[in-house]
Amino acid sequence: MSVNNSIAIDVSFKTDVHKGLTTFPKFLYSKYIYDEKGDKLFQEIMNLPEYYLTNCEFDILSLHTEEIAQLFNDPDKGFDLIELGAGDGKKTKVLLGHLAENDFNFVYKPIDISQNAIDSLSKNLSEEFPNITVEGEKGMYFEVLEQLQHYNSRKKVLMVLGSNIGNLLHPKAIDFLTKLKDIMSTQDFLFMGFDQKKDPQIVLDAYNDATGVTEAFNKNLLTRINRELGGDFNLEKFKHWEVYNPETGTAKSFLVATEAMDVAISALDLNVHFDAWETIHTEISQKYDDKVVQWLAESAGLKIHTSFEDEKGFYKNYVFKR
């Protein structure tokens, strides 16, 4: 990340925290959970037995590898597989392995905000699959994608795994899909994971695990405010609380103040008062069904081409065209 970018992020962190903690009801954006510690906690979450999403998507990619590979392929010119938010590529490797073993003509372009993630994934892939061409790019999704749009005329497959779209409210999700559509041509595909509505208890357990990793993940927002903005939040005085509305499919995370208190944040020159049991809303994790995905796609000018689901029907990867 360039110096200018990190300054921009610091400034927006300050501004957003100020806004979120002086608004009623209070809120903080979940994107700020992901510093180095937040990234590690999220890796731990993905290995939790309660957090079914990762295994379900892994199963989909394992069960339907050949069908997905054939769908992505252009036998004449090959294709570019562009993964947004590639992380450690654990799930993608199932597909990459199959594509490599069967000599598909493709280039894998992982995009991630973290240079570390790109470097270790590229190294790891060159050891595991030496015949795959990997062209990793560090950066914000849309900056990199805009460059790629003019770069190449062959088929692009954009891949966004992990139901990351679920962290966006519907209007923002439509904006995100629209931006992706805008850089697609008619031959391109968008392959995206959407966690599905299911037994509400299963959803609640996934976001309120028995070992407290999700609680630490959620509270990392307060840790960051303490460290980066000179806050004096006492983490023990906040409770992680998850609710799931099966009607709307929205899981919401909160931090709840267990007593009345004042919190000072020196970099903001701010004193924040909490009443007992006052909340900070921190994250949404939307669960979907076909109708809602259809509506989001149509609103963004995309069509559902096909979809793949895991055996339990917990999770779906949709393939969109423009």
Instruction: State the residues that interact with ligand AVI by CB under 6 A.
Output: 45, 53, 162-164, 166-167, 207, 214, 217, 283, 285
Q: How many CB atoms lie within 10 A of CB 49?
A: 11
Nearer residue to ligand AVI within complex by CB, 26 or 252: 252
Between 129 and 241, CB nearer to ligand AVI: 241
Give the distance from CA 201 to its chain's centroid. 22
CA angle at residue 317 from 316 to 322, to 5 degrees?
130
Minimum CB separation of residue 239 from ligand AVI in Å reads 15
Least separation, in Å, of the C-beta of 46 and ligand AVI? Answer: 8
Q: Using the minimum distance from each CB to ligand AVI, give the nearer residue, 121 or 192.
A: 192
Q: Which is nearer to ligand AVI, 121 or 213 (CB)?
A: 213
Between CA 141 and CA 84 the distance in angstroms is 6
CB closer to ligand AVI, 53 vs 117:
53
CB of 286 to ligand AVI, least distance (A): 8
Exposure string (b/e) for 10-30, b if CB count within 10 Å is 16 or more?
eeebbeebbebbeeeebbbbb
At 158, which amino acid appears?
L
Q: How far is the CB of 167 from ligand AVI (least distance, A)?
A: 5
Q: Are 300 and 178 in contact (CB under 8 A)?
A: yes
Rounded distance between C-alpha atoms, residue 16 and residue 21, angstroms: 8
Nearer to ligand AVI, 73 or 220 (CB): 220
Of 53 and 280, which CB lies nearer to ligand AVI in the complex structure?
A: 53
Note the helical H segments in the chain: 3-22, 36-46, 52-63, 65-72, 92-101, 115-128, 141-149, 170-182, 200-206, 213-229, 290-299
- Can you read off the two tokens belonging to residue 252? 């919401």
Supply the minimum distance, in Å, between the C-beta of residue 169 and ligand AVI: 13
For residue 95, give every residue at least 6 positions away whose Cβ sits within 8 Å of its Cβ, in sequence order, or none.
61, 65, 68, 69
Determine the residue with CB nearest ligand AVI. Answer: 285
Q: Which is nearer to ligand AVI, 278 or 283 (CB)?
A: 283
Phi, then psi, of 243 in degrees rounded to 5:
-125, 150
Q: Given the complex with ligand AVI, which of 205 and 283 has the nearer CB atom?
A: 283
Residue 153 CB, nearest approach to ligand AVI (Å): 33
Shortest spacing between CB 164 and ligand AVI, in angstroms: 5
CA distances from residue 176 to 28, 179, 301 in whole angstroms, order as listed: 20, 5, 12
Least distance CB 129 / ligand AVI (angstroms): 26
Is there a contact between 224 and 35 (Cβ–Cβ < 8 Å)?
Answer: yes
Rounded to whole angstroms, how far apart are CA atoms 197 and 190? 22
- State the nearest-atom distance from the C-beta of 316 to ligand AVI, in Å: 14
